[in-house]
Amino acid sequence: MKIWLDGNLVDEAAAKISVFDHGLLYGDGVFEGIRFYNGRIFRLEAHIRRLFESARAIVLDLPWSQEDICRFTCETVAANGLSDGYIRLVVTRGCGELGLNPYLCPRPSMFIIASTIKLYPEEHYTNGLALITCATRRPAPGALMPQVKSLNYLNNIMAKVEAIQANALEAIMLNEQGYVAECTGDNLFIIKNGVLLTPLISDGALDGITRGVILELAASLAIPFQERSLTRYDIFIADECFLTGTAAEVIPVVSLDRRTIGSGNPGPLTRRFIEGFKQLTHSSGTPFS
């Protein structure tokens, strides 16, 4: 495997960062997860634009342009000879002295991995996921901005631990007001009376790239949709439910906290979104070879 690291494609064994990198010491940095299908990187420009927005939000100046990083990403995928897979692009604050002061790090570091990922077993894409509600809450925007895809993912990790300990693959996270924010790594959608509903960004949901694709598909399929505050009650009484994310793609949900959602099977509109998403990902994107 070839890894892009600070300007060079190196072998996996040689892809190393310093123990003084603030990304390692303090989780100080940002990242993007990106998919590629059939020799094309899906929504590459949107992902890189969001990377720059995350970096700007944490006062991290990137020495590369968006066009540069798009090119580096394409080079990395091409060097690994894959036609389908997953990209993890990480920018750290870089090396510096011990202590929190980010201004003591003269230059950020970046690495790009092109590999494969399997978030959930295949049978759950057919039969649906069972979710739980975890006790770990999403941080308030005044504490940690949910729109920043930062390297500090401990909040999500502890929620994932809760899910695993409860023998679930995924968990819903609420905000401090009790509204649904998102799952540990995915956005959430429900369908009620033919209307597509998803939590507000201001309630703690990440403005996911795949989330945006689903809203585009809803418009093209003439399915009405709303972004509004949701509670667990809304999910319990929903006709259908599904999750979205770059790694997860689109996956149906059939229960929450052992309560059946809808018929207990992936619903017809969910299947339309899954099919529409597959068609779009396999027919568009940025070629890398």
What mean pLDDT value characterizes the chain? 96
**pLDDT tens per residue across span 196-244:** 999 999 999 999 999 999 999 999 999 999 999 999 999 999 999 999 9
Neighbouring residues of 277: CB distance < 8 A, sequence distance ≥ 6 = 210, 213, 214, 217, 249, 250
Taking the C-alpha atoms of residue 94 and residue 111, their distance in angstroms, rounded to an integer, is: 11
Candidate list 118, 149, 192, 278, residue with the active-site label:
149
Burial of 35 (C-beta count, 10 Å sphere; 0-12/13-18/19+): buried
Neighbouring residues of 128: CB distance < 8 A, sequence distance ≥ 6 = 251, 252, 253, 254, 255, 264, 265, 266
**pLDDT tens per residue across span 136-182:** 999 888 888 888 999 999 999 999 999 999 999 999 999 999 999 99
Cα torsion at 214, 74, 25, 181 (round to 10°)? 0
pLDDT value of position 110: 98
**pLDDT tens per residue across span 52-87:** 999 999 999 999 999 999 999 999 999 999 999 999
Provide the pLDDT confidence category of residue 132 given band limits of 50, 70 and 90.
very high
pLDDT value of position 145: 84
pLDDT value of position 140: 85
Taking the C-alpha atoms of residue 90 and residue 95, their distance in angstroms, rounded to an integer, is: 14
Q: What angle do CA 42, 224, 173 make, to 5 degrees?
A: 65
* DSSP tally for the chain: helices H, then strands E: 8, 16
Domain positions in the chain:
2-115, 122-281
Res. 289: pLDDT tops 80: no
Task: Please name the CATH architecture into which domain 122-281 falls.
Answer: Alpha-Beta Barrel (3.20)
Q: Which fold has domain 2-115?
A: D-amino Acid Aminotransferase; Chain A, domain 1 (3.30.470)
149 is catalytic: yes
pLDDT value of position 146: 85
Indicate yes or no: pTM above 0.75. yes
